[in-house]
């Protein structure tokens, strides 16, 4: 059965694609969830219009994200923390701490999941942390972890 996808579906296709699927899959899964519509010329035109609007929105999001990350790119965040033996921190610095610091210094609200920190920072030093705000908008900040003077 030929259907037109109304949304992106992993392993099946993207918005606006015309695909052949089993009749039961279309009737029992795709149509009730409004993920696809039956293939007709009228539906094809509607989905094409929706696709154009979606692309415009996507380009605007990428542009806004790029402008936002331009402020952050190559920024330096300094954390002064208590340190134990051999430069090890009491506690750690997580992606949530970095997001809070960005919020306080740059007034940019950033979801902590956008900050690519493999594991919390537990040692004094300089770290280059990548931020992937949107699929095409990326930046990196330098995190400087220093010992708190006593």
pLDDT value, residue 47? 87
Is this prediction's pTM over 0.75? no
> For domain 2-64, which CATH number applies: 3.40.50.300, 3.30.365.10, 3.40.50.720, 3.40.5.10?
3.40.5.10
Check residue 109 and give its pLDDT: 86
**Which of 78, 70, 69 minimizes the C-alpha distance to 132?**
69
State the angle between helix axes of 95-106 and 41-72 in degrees (0 to 180), rounded to the nearest 10: 80
Task: Provide the pLDDT for residue 42.
Answer: 92
Domain ranges of the chain: 2-64, 69-147
Average pLDDT for runs of 10 along the chain of length 150: 91 90 94 93 89 88 83 86 86 92 88 89 91 82 86
Residue pointed to by tokens 């331009």: 70
Q: Which CATH architecture has domain 69-147?
A: Roll (3.10)
pLDDT of residue 34: 93
């Amino acid at each position: 059965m030929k259907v037109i996808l109304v949304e992106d579906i992993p392993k099946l296709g993207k918005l606006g694609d015309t695909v052949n699927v089993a009749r039961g899959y279309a009737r029992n899964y795709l149509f009730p969830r409004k993920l696809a519509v039956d293939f007709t010329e009228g539906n094809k035109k509607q989905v094409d219009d929706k696709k154009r609007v979606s692309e415009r929105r996507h380009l605007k999001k990428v542009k806004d994200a790029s402008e936002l990350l331009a402020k952050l790119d190559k920024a330096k965040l300094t954390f002064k923390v208590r340190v134990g033996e051999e430069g090890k921190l009491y506690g750690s610095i997580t992606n949530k701490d970095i997001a809070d610091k960005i919020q306080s210094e740059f007034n940019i609200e950033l979801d902590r999941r956008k900050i690519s920190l493999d594991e919390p920072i537990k040692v004094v030093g300089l770290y280059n942390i990548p931020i992937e705000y949107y699929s095409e908008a990326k930046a990196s900040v330098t995190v400087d972890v220093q010992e708190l003077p006593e």
